Every structure is written in structure tokens, then in C-alpha cells.
Amino acid sequence: MQLKVLVLAGDGIGPEVTEQAIRVLRTVAAHGDHAFTFEDGLIGGAAIDAAGTPFPPATREAALASDAVFLGAVGHNKFNALPPSERPEAGLLALRAALGGFANLRPAFAHPALADNSPLRPAVIEEVDILFVRELLGGLYFGQPREWNRATNEAWNTMRYTRAEIERVARVAFELAGKRRKKLTSVDKANVLEVSQLWRATVNEVAKDYPEITVEHEFVDACSMHLMNNPRRFDVILTENLFGDILSDEAGVITGSLGVLPSATIGGQVDLFEPVHGSAPDIAGQGIANPVGAILTAAMLLRHSAKLEAEALAVEQAVRTVLESGARTKDLARGQQGTILSTQEMGTRVNDALIDVLRGQAESARLTGVTR
């Protein structure tokens, strides 16, 4: 397997956690004789400092020439005085638009080893495994017109979708639901918004092609409540851009930390992978950031871009093994007894566990005569 990855470490803790994720990918490549190549690029605040723009043309060209893009994080408070179109976050939106990925996949799961980290009762979150499919290129984030008119003290954004935009992301969600528990929840606000009425009607039309999938519709406010009191009722949640952003972040409560949640954006010319957490500039450079979200994002890259399912599962198993051993970064310690690991130490623990899992897979394949 040959894979060319553009690495955009970005701002804040991005470089620290990205280093550990790429380390894991190199381990997978070495053990499987895969030819993974990594090229570094600039985005966000780092790009503003070096090139005067959050999304330099060279980064765009390199991204479109890659098989996958791995992003750390963007954003820093020192750029808050800039116009929104010139801030680090504008670079991320421009990258998403350039790559064309319209389906953002955000898993939300309950690690048994982290049950005490969630403010929800263990009985509520036990065995929760949700996959958010968030439409990423439409809605309020990209709709026009949009403006803040300072002269009149007015501001407006436009939520806009076409049937085609809804249908394509719905089909991604239905396909993924078919590989899971065959249940899809579509979230909208169809009792108020015309855009949501189009969304619901389109999802119902697409559902006719997937009779094996159970479909339900939820208003976004009801869904946000059920995520906290009965999250096990959900499997795949399909929703538009803004609702998906809010709900998937809320679901971080289930796991107990955004620092362990990954994401992938697929459907475009090049897939984009980034952990859900932000740049956290207040802890950057201290070696205390949690790399697990970035490492699990690497697993999603293996699954969706490299098509290496066994290796993706190996990374996920390594993370489970390390968490079950009691290893914690500062955000996960929560007053628990034991040693708190640095970013690099946690990465080392996961990488060592991964080597063991990969060796086990190789031995099993040898004994069964399976060639991979």
C-alpha cells in the first residue's frame, strides 16, 4: 500500500499530538511493508506567521496532490483582532472547501476504562457507540449572503441547502448504518425551518433505497436532551453542519474528554482527518496534551483512505489496552491516583501496545495461513 499524506500540524497543541499520530502511522507502515510518505505544510496561525495567510497556495496545491490530509488543530487568541476571513479558522474552512469533503464522520463512544471521567452515570453511557455524520460544506457556515453591518448594527447568515447536497451526505450515512446496527436518526428542526423540511423530505426519499435501515427523525433540541439521558438509543446520527458541530461536541460528555475523539471528512477529492479537540493554546508546549484523539484519527485514516481495516482495528485496540492499564494524561486523571503521563509518554505507551497487536495479527495470520 502506497499513501501520500500531507501533515498540517497547525497551532497550539496541534504539533504535539500530531507527532504521536504520525508515529503510529509509521509503525503500521513499517510492520506491513507499506510505503507511507509524509509531507509537512502550513495552515492556520502558523501559516499566518510564516506566509501572511491562513491557507497558503502551496498548502492547497500539496493537499490536492496528496492521498490524505492529517490536520492537528488551528486557532490562537493572538489573531482575534483580525477580520474573520483572515483568522486561522478561515484556513480550515478554505481547506475543507478545497478538498470537497462533504461528510464529516465523528464517532462518540464510551470507553469502559474512562467511565468515571463522564459526568453521566456509568449506567447511562455503558456500551454507547454513536457515529455522527455531519454535512460539512453547506448550511450557515457557507451560505450566502452573510454580513455584519456595523453601520446599522445588524448581522445575518444564510442557512441554505440543495436537495443534491442533502442526498449525497444521506447516502453516506445510510451506507455506514448498514455496516453497523442498521439504525439512522436524522436530526433537523422541521417544525420551524424550511431548510429542515427539505432535509427531512430528502432523507425520507433516500431511505426508500435502504429498506433494511430503521429511520427516525428527531428535532435538534430533543436530540440534545436524549444524548444526555439515553444515548444508547442512537447509532448513526445524520444532521446538517451547525447542528452536527454542536451535537458531536456535546457527545464529548459521554467519553469524558474531547481529547480522545477523532474525526474524518470524506466524499471529496482528498480525505481530511483531524481530532475533534481545538488548539488549546493555553497548554501548548507543556507536554500535557492528550494525543489519543489524534491517534484514533490516524486509525480513521487507515480505515477510510488506506483501506487497511485490520491495522485501524489494531490502533484502536492499542488505545483500549493502554487506557485499561490505567495510563492517563492530565485531562483524564481527574484526581485519580497513579502516574500522569506526558503527551509523548502516552504516545509511546500506545505505540508499544500497537507493536504487540500487530505482531499478534501477523502470528495469527501465519498460523492460519492467511496472506495479507
Give the CA diameter of the chain.
74
Question: 67 catalytic, yes or no?
Answer: no
- The residue annotated as part of the active site, out of 141, 161, 188, 271, is 141
Question: 210 catalytic, yes or no?
Answer: no
Report the alpha-carbon distance of residue 212 to residue 188 in Å, rounded: 22
Residue 40: CB atoms within 10 Å? 12
Concatenating the DSSP letter of every residue in 77-116 gives GGGTTS-GGGSHHHHHHHHHHHHT--EEEEEEE--GGGGG
- The residue annotated as part of the active site, out of 40, 116, 209, 221, is 221
Question: 271 catalytic, yes or no?
Answer: no
Q: Which residue, chain included where needed, has cell 497551532?
A: 11
- The residue annotated as part of the active site, out of 188, 245, 271, 331, is 245
Question: 245 catalytic, yes or no?
Answer: yes
Q: Which amino acid is at 125?
A: I
Q: Nearest-5° angle of CA 6, CA 108, CA 215?
A: 110
> For residue 203, which phi and psi values (nearest 5 degrees)?
-60, -40
Map residue 367 onto helix, strand or coil: helix
- The residue annotated as part of the active site, out of 129, 182, 249, 330, is 249
Question: 249 catalytic, yes or no?
Answer: yes
- The residue annotated as part of the active site, out of 11, 161, 188, 189, is 189
Residues recognised as catalytic? 141, 189, 221, 245, 249
